[in-house]
Structure 1
Amino acid sequence: MVDLDSLRAHLTEVLDAQSAATGVAGAVVGVAVGGDQFSLAHGSANLNTGQEFTTDTGWLLGSVTKVLTATALLRLVDAGTVDLDAPARRYLPEFTLADTDAAEAITVRMLINHTNGIDADDLMPAAVRGRDATRSYVDQLPDFGCLFEPGTGIHYSNPGFVLAARILEEQTGLPFERAIQTELFEPCGMRDATAVQTQAFLRRTAIGAHASDEPGKLRATSLFSLPESAAGAGGTPIVTVADMMAFGRMHLAGGLAPDGGRVLSQELAAAMLTPTFDLGLPSVPSMGLGWWLTPIAGTTAAWHGGGSPGGASSFCIVPEHDAVIVSFVSGPNALLNDKLHTAVLEHLTGQQATAPFGGDPADADPSMAGGYTAFHVDKNISVHDGTLLVRTAFPFHDEELERTLDGYGTSGSSTVTYVPAAPGLFLPEDSDPRTTAGFYGRFSILADLPPAPGRPRGIHTGLRFIPKTS
């Protein structure tokens, strides 16, 4: 029997300790174990208005949407109208890339397990809104290539899930915002969920916050959400704790909604929780369908995180313990999500969450020195006494993208020293290795990834692959 009262008291203490000085304007967390659940809220939902964060406040889900998009797409697989192992072009003949052979090789499955390799991570066209927004994104993909042969690696894929959303649109005849409503929100009992940005005016909805120029202060974001073209990857959906509890319980029940309705077949619900690709790096969990299958605190959590302008969300289900955990933080302290989630997981399992790597640190291989390039990011690495000096720049692409990323809070150029943490793994020299025990904390690990058939040598960090180019 899990003592939820003591867990609730502990999480209350964690939230009460947060403020602008700790990088938190407001936050919410929800926990469900078996048939019991609770939720807590803290701080401000909107620094512009002073609105209080409550447990029924909505927030932008960000990339956690990817699990929802995958689930909605798999309903079409259940219906027999989409085949996971068919080429994506069977359903989207207009889809192509600069590498046409790669576009032909990408299957529907590769769209929702981050193995398609499309090199367009930060593509965020904002000019088109409404019914044609997702189409406008796909129309730009012919300018982009692939980082590796599809199916041979993992590279966090916003374009993969936009393409999945586009298939959903084509097969249902509805724009994404209505397709996700009818295919998922309604049958799952997610009563307050919406992918329509303007619904934020009609309900209590949080906005993000960024660090300000004044130490210990935060400022409200000037950008509410990412463009509608990226809705299927996480641009626009707004949810509450109750919505995500319903969604999580549906997955724990093998595809049955809380009201007993069948949302997804038991076979496909299980397939989402089955590894489809493992890169073999401790910083990159095995990939199911939509879910990152993360070993943590003696169990495995099916997890996804999500960023929004000035905010970050975290969501997981823990099948072994029949548990759902969801949180959102307004402010730059995304790691508060990890603190909340690991506290729950440690309470459930009785085991401590530890760093995902072991072994003695090893000096960097001198051959790591050189240039690494992917869309909208250039890294230059030099090796000094076994450590890495990593210079990062974000080359100008176009004014539209620059405005979006500036509002999102993407940092500018940086120079960071990375020190060995384990063979082939490195951490920023001023970081605490203990933070890598959490979901977001693992993003700070930089891994030296050797070449493999279909994939060049590169580095892997923040779930993203950047090939060595010089």
Structure 2
Amino acid sequence: MADLVPLRAQLADILAAQSTATGVAGAVIGVAVGGDQFSLAHGTANLNTGQEFTTDTGWLLGSVTKLLTTTALLRLVDAGAVDLDAPVRQYLPEFALADTDAAEVITVRMLLNHTNGIDADDLMPAAVRGRDATRSYVAELPDFGCLFEPGTGLHYSNPGFVLAARIIEERTGLPYERAIQTELFDPCGMRDATAVQTQAFLRPTAIGARACDEAGSLRATSLFSLPESAAGAGATPIVTVADMLTFGRMHLAGGLAPTGRRVLSDELAAAMLTPTFDLGLPSAPPIGLGWWLDPLAGTTAAWHGGGSPGGASSFCIVPEHDAVVVTFVSGPNVLLNDTLHTTVIEYLTGHQVDVPFAGVPADTDPAIAGEYAAFHVDKSISVLDGNLLVRTAVPFYDEELESVLDAYGMPRASSVTYVPVAPGLFRPEGADPRTTTGFYGRLGLLADLPSVPGRPRGIHTGLRFVPRIS
């Protein structure tokens, strides 16, 4: 078993070098390898109060919640209450899309592996809270279509996991916040985890931080969490390091919790780690059920990341080394998560995490120039001297969504130049190629995807597919 003392010291040095000047208000990491574990915290958890970030401080998990939702839903599969390959409408007759044919064929499995294609990425209804919040989200989906025929592509799917949460609600008779407690937190032994936002008042809880006008300074976010309607996709759950190490150990043990209680069958725990779809892109790893399966340093790390207002989580298990790593960073320095994770993975494997592309890039295909669009995003691509100039605009949808996303910090427009690094693959100009070695860094690559039956030509970046429209 690896000696974790030098690793702990290495990680402590990385954290000690962080400050508001590096885009970090506070951060925490937990590492478990075999029967050994440790955690470290740094900085401030709440810039409003000066509260210290400690190893038992809770934080918003963000989209890492999708692993929780997947596990809870698969417990219902184990119980015979849900069939992964049944149409979603078998459990949610009210589920509808503007593309009626797609709504008929989307299966439960397609919700959990992001292949449903539902074009509603940023949808965040905020008007309804409590028991009917998830239902209110599903009620808006008839206004949205699909980016490709279900099962033919990969597009990061917040609506897919809201639908998964709604199935959990229907099959358990409980609202999501209670169902995730009874179906996962309690049986797994995640003692401090909660999906009830008001619990943040009763325990130390981190608040996200954002950049401000004064150089080297940060300010607390004005938005604590995203709307409750997206709870199952990652809006509301709050966890601690201990909770996530427990959850990760359960998955490494084939569904058996550290308490000895079986949470998930061996078969379904293994199915979560088995590739179900692969675009073959460095920027989009194979997907299992819930888990993204990243090849790193000669091993495979099962990973998920998650954003919250002013913060970002990263969580992985490395089955070959019986390891769990979880991090949270308050502040805009999302890539600190990658630095911490890759430091652990390189220590365990004895290999460097390499840049995920090699060779001499081919000439840029001029046919990539054009207009691309999906819900709440328009992209215009020009080819200049072999590079791509990508202009992105976020069109107005409604005041409710704009208010949420403004508070979240989503820019309304941007312009980025990309340089070719491999045939059909581009990275942002000026970015250190080493930043693409980690989980989050790879998502910044942009790929040119040709059309295939059921899926039009488009680009793929940030795990999202944006089809060409002209």
Asked if TM exceeds 0.5, the reply is yes
For 1:456 and 1:186, locate their aligned partners in 2 and report how far apart those are by CA, in whole Å: 44
For 2:95 and 2:359, locate their aligned partners in 1 and report how far apart those are by CA, in whole Å: 44
For 2:26 and 2:71, locate their aligned partners in 1 and report how far apart those are by CA, in whole Å: 29
TM-score (norm 2): 1.00
For 1:137 and 1:367, locate their aligned partners in 2 and report how far apart those are by CA, in whole Å: 38
Query: 2:447 corresponds to which residue?
Result: 447
For residue 287 of structure 1, report the CA deviation from its aligned partner.
0.4
Q: Match of 2:85, as an amino acid? A: D
2:115 match: secondary structure: coil
Query: 2:104 corresponds to which residue?
Result: 104
For 1:373 and 1:77, locate their aligned partners in 2 and report how far apart those are by CA, in whole Å: 36
TM-score (norm 1): 1.00
- List 4+ stretches of structure 1 deviating above 4 A: none
For residue 23 of structure 1, report the CA deviation from its aligned partner.
0.3
Contact 1:359/1:423 (8 A) holds in 2? no
Matches within 5 A, 1:227-266: 227-266=227-266
For residue 274 of structure 1, report the CA deviation from its aligned partner.
0.3
Q: Match of 2:38, as an amino acid? A: F
Query: 2:269 corresponds to which residue?
Result: 269
Query: 2:325 corresponds to which residue?
Result: 325
Query: 1:437 corresponds to which residue?
Result: 437
For residue 412 of structure 1, report the CA deviation from its aligned partner.
2.3
For 2:379 and 2:406, locate their aligned partners in 1 and report how far apart those are by CA, in whole Å: 19
TM-superposition CA deviations, 1:293-314 (whole Å, max 9, x none): 0001111000000000000000
Query: 1:389 corresponds to which residue?
Result: 389
TM-superposition CA deviations, 1:167-222 (whole Å, max 9, x none): 00000000000000000000000000000001000000001000001110001000
For 1:344 and 1:147, locate their aligned partners in 2 and report how far apart those are by CA, in whole Å: 37
Mind listing any 5+ residue stretches in structure 2 that lack a counterpart? none
For 1:443 and 1:407, locate their aligned partners in 2 and report how far apart those are by CA, in whole Å: 23
2:431 is the counterpart of 1:469? no
For 2:403 and 2:32, locate their aligned partners in 1 and report how far apart those are by CA, in whole Å: 39
Contact 1:61/1:239 (8 A) holds in 2? yes
Matches within 5 A, 1:28-107: 28-107=28-107
Q: Match of 1:6, as an amino acid? A: P
For 2:103 and 2:354, locate their aligned partners in 1 and report how far apart those are by CA, in whole Å: 39
For 1:465 and 1:385, locate their aligned partners in 2 and report how far apart those are by CA, in whole Å: 25
Matches within 5 A, 1:299-448: 299-448=299-448
Q: What is the root-mean-square deviation of aligned Cα atoms in Å? A: 0.5
Mind listing any 5+ residue stretches in structure 1 that lack a counterpart? none
For residue 362 of structure 1, report the CA deviation from its aligned partner.
2.3
Q: Match of 1:38, as an amino acid? A: F
Contact 1:62/1:307 (8 A) holds in 2? yes
For 1:142 and 1:160, locate their aligned partners in 2 and report how far apart those are by CA, in whole Å: 14
Q: Match of 1:147, as an amino acid? A: L
For 2:281 and 2:104, locate their aligned partners in 1 and report how far apart those are by CA, in whole Å: 28
Contact 1:363/1:387 (8 A) holds in 2? no
For 1:45 and 1:76, locate their aligned partners in 2 and report how far apart those are by CA, in whole Å: 36
1:382 match: secondary structure: strand
For residue 385 of structure 1, report the CA deviation from its aligned partner.
1.3
Query: 1:12 corresponds to which residue?
Result: 12
TM-superposition CA deviations, 1:210-255 (whole Å, max 9, x none): 0001110001000000000000000000000000011000000000
For residue 454 of structure 1, report the CA deviation from its aligned partner.
0.5
For residue 409 of structure 1, report the CA deviation from its aligned partner.
1.4
1:274 match: secondary structure: coil
For residue 361 of structure 1, report the CA deviation from its aligned partner.
1.8
For 1:47 and 1:91, locate their aligned partners in 2 and report how far apart those are by CA, in whole Å: 44
For residue 395 of structure 1, report the CA deviation from its aligned partner.
0.2
2:164 is the counterpart of 1:164? yes
How many residue pairs get aligned? The number is 470
For 1:403 and 1:240, locate their aligned partners in 2 and report how far apart those are by CA, in whole Å: 29
TM-superposition CA deviations, 1:59-103 (whole Å, max 9, x none): 000000000000000000000010000000000000010000001
For 1:280 and 1:419, locate their aligned partners in 2 and report how far apart those are by CA, in whole Å: 20
